[in-house]
A and B are shown apart, each in its own frame.
Chain A
Amino acid sequence: MKFIIAIIQPHRLDAVREALSAIGVTGMTASEVKGFGRQGGHSEIYRGAEYTVHYLPKVKLEIAVNGDMADRAVETIAEAGRTGKIGDGKVFVLDLESALRVRTGETGEEAL
């Protein structure tokens, strides 16, 4: 099992969710987060004064998938989330040790 953490542009969330559903991903968690990468934030101008906004709004997706599904899911996130501009985000993949469905007590891949 793999655990995928994807940081994406907020306005690509719907496209990414639809694409993942289409390849059979059945669940995910999305959070509104703030962060910066190499772009280092941006600046806004109010009354002629420049303010640096360090943390930009992003969406963090957390998805647990079967091991053989992980590569396809990562590719799908990358394709659906890409705008080609700075700030498109990153995808991280971790080994997932265990999983448990709370309602039934199922464990492992059965729980995903």
Chain B
Amino acid sequence: MINGADTAWILTSTALVLFMTLPGLALFYAGLVRATNILSVLMQCVAIAALLSILWLIAGYSLAFAEGTPWIGGLGKMMLMGVARDQVFDGTGLPETVFFMFQMTFAIITPALIVGAFVERIRFSAVLLFSALWLLLVYAPVTHWVWGGGWLGAMGVKDFAGGIVVHVTAGVAAIVLAVMVGARTGFPSQVQPPHAPWMVMVGASMLWVGWFGFNAGSALSAGADAGMAMLVTHVSAATATLVWIVIEWLRFGRPSLVGAVTGTIAGLATITPASGFVGPIGGLACGLAGGVICYLAVDLVRNRMRIDDSLDVMAVHGVGGATGTLLTALLMSASLGGVGHGEASSVGSQFLVQLTGVAVTAIYCAVVSVVIVMIVKATTGLRVALDQEREGLDLASHGETGYNQ
């Protein structure tokens, strides 16, 4: 039966999660690039949101959530055929239309996150083709595995709001793209600093607020689970923000705004898989661990591995999501204020299940992403010409400029 309160909250959450991408993530990313690439980043986010919404309706939703095999959903719900206006989504008090829309906003933000890997050098057509194929070949099946009745969910993997489904997949795809597209010309010593740190803060703040819908909405109900999910989400975000401030203060003598809000996002990504299973202590622990580990990961990927994952998608989202997924095994313990393990599982056994979920998803995502990038390279090509990269993608790809006198 349709529950009005639950439906009202998920309608609200759907709006919040779309707001995370448009304009939250778009601004977060746009502030980090050169002034001559701001529009290209905004445009990539807008175009991904529009294109993937339609693909979600045509086939994505069905492949993720229609009845099928343990590996992939069926085609029974393409175009939402046969889904009645008042049909309730199984196991919830929600109309299926609302569940469809809520999940669609996740399908939008995940490929939009990957944009951070290839900004300032990618062809626009390559963004569209990659995102479309990736939605159908990576995002939809992995979502089915974890949330759509597939084999990882059956195995007992705990991923409340998308540590694996959203953040691990986006992070791994980002590394694949960063390597295969290649670094920005001049990386690492000659690339330019973020053109508008204030814009990064505005975007990150929108993500912080939107994340309440992302995590507390993933309860799929308006009640105790949503309440605690929102609480731990906020605690983790605040903790990780402080962690980055402290680290930068100690290391460089001056804490930066860009660093502080990057910590916020690291804390939010880390709590995502745990948010429905842990208590306040778990929120603090996710913020602490996610803050520290993601900070080290940024240094590792950029400065030691020399991979130009330009806006640190892997280090912040991938590593944060994986860290939170693994920590869930411990932090869900009843003694730490979590929901507790069932009789059949323990911290150790749950940890192995979580590790399997992260590892298998990462490997599958990496392999299929490589294939997709090869297809894109052979059709649209990946990079713009060198002089277009120097000129900036705003003018070269879109024929407009972000800042006119």
Q: Which A residues form the contact surface with B (CB < 8 A)?
A: 44-49, 51-53
Instruction: Verify B298–A51 contact, CB threshold 8 A.
Output: no
User: How many Å from the CB of A109 to the closest CB on chain B?
Assistant: 35
Binds A, one of B1-9, B172-180, B184-192, B341-349: B184-192
Instruction: Verify B259–A49 contact, CB threshold 8 A.
Output: no
Specify which chain A residues have a CB less than 8 angstroms from the CB of B188 in the assembled complex.
49
Q: Which B residues form the contact surface with A (CB < 8 A)?
A: 188-189, 191-194, 197, 248, 251-252, 256, 258-259, 262, 295, 298-299, 302-303, 312
User: How many Å from the CB of B324 to the closest CB on chain A?
Assistant: 20
For the complex, what is the distance from the CA of A53 to the CA of B295, rounded to whole Å?
A: 23
Q: A45-B252, A51-B192 are in contact. List 5 more A-B contacts (CB 8 A).
A: A45-B256, A47-B298, A47-B302, A48-B251, A49-B302
For the complex, what is the distance from the CA of A53 to the CA of B195, rounded to whole Å?
A: 12
Instruction: Verify B193–A48 contact, CB threshold 8 A.
Output: no
Instruction: Verify A51–B191 contact, CB threshold 8 A.
Output: yes
For the complex, what is the distance from the CA of A48 to the CA of B292, rounded to whole Å?
A: 13
With CB as the reference atom, state the residue of chain B lying closest to A52: B189
Instruction: Verify A48–B192 contact, CB threshold 8 A.
Output: no
User: How many Å from the CB of A48 to the closest CB on chain B?
Assistant: 5
User: How many Å from the CB of A42 to the closest CB on chain B?
Assistant: 11
Specify which chain B residues have a CB less than 8 angstroms from the CB of A47 in the assembled complex.
258-259, 262, 298, 302, 312
Provide 27 A-B residue pairs closer than 8 Å at the C-beta atoms, listed in order of the A residue.
Answer: A44-B193, A45-B248, A45-B252, A45-B256, A46-B193, A46-B194, A46-B197, A46-B259, A47-B259, A47-B298, A47-B312, A48-B248, A48-B251, A48-B259, A48-B295, A48-B298, A48-B299, A48-B302, A48-B303, A49-B188, A49-B298, A49-B302, A49-B303, A51-B191, A51-B192, A51-B193, A53-B193
